[in-house]
Amino acid sequence: MEIPISYYLILSSALFAIGTVGVLIRRNAIIIFMSIEMMLNAVNLSLVAFSDLHRSIDGQMLVFFVMVVAAAEVAVGLALIYVIFRNKGNVYVDELNIMKW
Amino acid sequence: MNLPLLIGVMVVKILVVFVVFLTTIAYVVLMERKVLGFIQFRYGPNRVGPWGLLQPLADALKLIFKEDFTPPGANRFLFVLAPVIVGLTAFLPLAVIPFADKILPDTLTIYGQKLDLTVASLNRGVIADVNIGLLYIFAVASMAVYGAVIGGWSSNNKYSLLGALRLSAQMISYELALGLSVIGVLMIAGTLSLVKIVEAQQHMWFIVYQPLGFILFLTAAFAECARTPFDLIECENELVAGYQTEYSSMKWGLLMMGEYGHVVIASALTTTLFLGGWQGPFLPPVVWFLLKTFILIFFFIWVRGTFPRFRFDQLMYFGWKVLLPLSLVNILLTGIIMLYMPR
Amino acid sequence: MQIIFFLLAATALISGIMVVIQVNPVRSALFLVLNFFALAAIYLLANAQFIAAIQIIVYAGAIMVLFLFVIMLLNLRQPEEGGAHRHLGQKIFGSSLATAVIALVIYKVFRMIVPPGKPLTPDFGSTEMVAKSLFTDYLLPFEMTSILLLVAVVGAVILARSKVE
């Protein structure tokens, strides 16, 4: 019994929305970063679902590349957060106002 | 097609494999103490039962009756979760490792019902023949680090935390070399299914084609199991017992079972990938499989008895600057040879 | 099949919400791992075995361990001072935006015309099929990802190294 594509899409959008809320309301940069990962995963889910619907492997290839980009992004992003922590002593995004005039 | 009976057969098969695995773990602990005793010119356990054969039972009884202590300030849920993860990741890879060719006939009659056992490879000597078998094992193995990290963090103890940090760095570093060193085998066999990898070794074991890959894989497996000479997470003089420091009673027992379970799984996997799995003349397949696995387990213990421990910077240097480049060279050489020397 | 999907979807949603509302970063990270596991199982339902396996290996096994590693390194155990969340306005704005996204997708999904399903080939989503596609149609992007990863490694090392005089 196949699962309708709409279920996948609704789940995907819900996860994406949860990730958006996380990015918007949290102060801790690491949790914001994790929420971004969740949004990437939500997109991956809809790609896999469409790949299954059309029986075409291209969607899964895109997921593969998203994962590669996510891995690179996490490596650089966490290094950035680490540097911020070393310089400021915390990682709260609303206290990172040194670029403000 | 009788689904409940088929599921029953499946459950019995899983239970038999699992019980044999648990017994193996218990006796590997005894074997290690005996062999270490032999290496160090002493007897090892010899008081409980003949030649100390009942020692595992006595150890288990002792652990069950010990006080189960949770340190104050510890996160109770995560503190319990960590040994469970360590145990699970040691048991789960068992599902895809083939230990024999055929263990049951194609059809079986139970209570007058004729069962077709070719369904879900019930008649084969493997619990699940999945086409991503090796990837599944790597996925489970990459989960093992969570057990240590969660255990170390939730213990609320600086030695535990340091041990956990060391272990996670070590396991992430050596996972790369572990994964890359088997790619040569995958290139020759052309499949990720462990059953098919064993079948591809019918004429020649892969250790002959992949001597460098074998050595690299075994070295990385030592580090993944955190065994001597890579057991920095629990070097007593620096870290007490690493992430296990605060654990006691059966929680510690589960951590111990996980540790030896990883050794058994690593040996069984090396056997499957490089030493032809259950293949061999004269003796039944299961005996061949167990024989090869136990020779490798003995090698693990032998190394523990003879090698000193690495320093942490040496460990990192070795993993990133020796093992990783060598496994890449191995892939390159395998590719060149496969291209210019068609079999 | 559908019952399994609903269970997994519920796990994914609840763990996703927990990621956002937990005050302790370690717990957030662990719930995110659970979320990734649920998604990997859903990928299996959608005939993507290879993607499911690398979802666990890459996301749960490497990326989240890195997150946990950094959280422990920075020792962010104590809850954030001054509250975990920012202003009330942001909360209202964020939640309404999220609701709008979900509502829009649901609205579109029920007006969508789904093409008829095609028959499933036995090797669909297997490692061989992904690999064939990767090394033929997608060879250029694949090679470019290696440069991307190299750049990321160099960048991370330079950013995180201790000050060298």
Nearest to C50 among B78, B132, B149 (CB): B132
Q: What is the pLDDT of residue B11?
A: 87
Select the residue from C85, C159, C163 to test the A interface by mutation, using most A Cβ atoms within 10 A: C159
pTM confidence score? 0.86
Q: Is the pLDDT of residue C147 over 90?
A: yes
The structural architecture, per CATH, of the domain A5-91 is: Orthogonal Bundle (1.10)
- Whether the CB-CB separation of A84 and A47 falls below 8 Å is answered with no
Span A78-84, average pLDDT: 87
pLDDT by position in tens, chain B (length 343): 677 777 888 888 889 888 988 888 888 888 888 888 888 888 878 888 788 788 888 888 888 888 777 777 777 788 888 888 888 888 888 888 888 877 777 777 777 777 777 776 777 777 888 888 888 888 888 888 888 888 888 877 778 888 888 888 888 888 888 888 988 888 888 888 888 888 888 888 888 888 888 999 999 988 888 777 877 666 666 666 677 777 777 888 888 888 888 889 999 999 988 888 788 788 888 888 888 899 999 998 888 888 888 887 888 888 888 989 999 999 999 889 888 876 6
**Minimal CA separation from C101 to chain B, in Å:** 33
More confident residue, B334 or A99: B334
What is the residue-wise DSSP string for C95-160?
Answer: HHHHHHHHHHHHHHHTT--PPPPPPPPTTTT-HHHHHHHHHTTTHHHHHHHHHHHHHHHHHHHHHH
Residue A42's pLDDT is what?
A: 92
Residue B54 confidence (pLDDT) = 84
Report the pLDDT value the prediction gives residue B42, as an integer from 0 to 100. 87
Nearest CA in chain A to C95: A21
pLDDT, one tens digit per residue, over A24-43 is 888 888 888 999 999 999 99
Which member of C36, C46, C84 has the closest CB to residue A52?
C46
What 3-state DSSP class applies to B211?
A: helix
Confirm or reject contact between A84 and chain C (CB < 8 A): no
Q: Are B157 and B247 in contact (CB under 8 A)?
A: no
Q: Where are the domains of chain A?
A: 5-91
Residues of C in contact with B194 (CB under 8 A): none
**Do A76 and C109 count as a contact with CB atoms less than 8 A apart?**
no
CB of A40 within 8 Å of a chain C CB? The answer is no
Rounded mean pLDDT of A56-83? 89
**Among the listed ranges A45-59, B156-170, C67-81, C94-108, which one has the minimum average pLDDT value?**
C67-81
Q: What share of chain B in percent tops pLDDT 70?
A: 94
Give contacts of A78 with chain C, Cβ < 8 Å.
Answer: 66-67, 70, 156
Q: What is the pLDDT of residue B329?
A: 92
The three-class DSSP label of residue B100 is strand
Give domain limits for chain C: 2-78+87-125, 126-165
Q: Mark which residues 63-102 of C lie under 8 Å from A by CB.
A: 63, 66-67, 70-71, 73-74, 76, 80, 82-86, 90-91, 93-95, 97-99, 101-102
Cβ-Cβ contacts under 8 Å, B145 against chain C: 61, 65
Chain C nearest CA to B78, separation (Å): 9
Within 13 Å and on the Cβ side, how many CA atoms surround B14? 14
CATH classification for the domain delimited by C2-78+87-125, as one of 3.40.1440.10, 3.30.450.20, 1.20.120.1200, 1.10.3430.10: 1.20.120.1200
Q: What is the pLDDT of residues B294-306, one digit of tens each?
A: 999 999 888 888 8
pLDDT value, residue C15: 92
Chains A and B are touching, with contact defined as 3 or more CB–CB pairs separated by less than 8 Å: no
Q: What is the model's pLDDT at position A81?
A: 87
A85 to chain C: closest CA residue = C74
Question: With an 8 Å Cβ cutoff, are C63 and A70 in contact?
Answer: yes
Q: pLDDT tens, C41-86?
A: 999 888 888 899 889 988 888 888 888 888 887 876 555 555 555 6
**What is the distance in angstroms between the Cα of C85 and the nearest Cα belonging to chain B?**
23
Residue A5 predicted with pLDDT over 70: yes
Six token digits for residue C76: 């962010």
Residue B97's pLDDT is: 87
Q: Which residue of C has its CA nearest to B146?
A: C65
Between CA B261 and CA B83 the distance in angstroms is 13
CB contact under 8 A, C33 and B131: no
Out of C33, C53, C127, name the one closest to residue B139 (CB).
C53
Phi, psi (5° rounding) for residue B105?
-70, 165
**Rounded CA separation B275/B300 (Å):** 16
Residue B343: per-residue pLDDT: 60
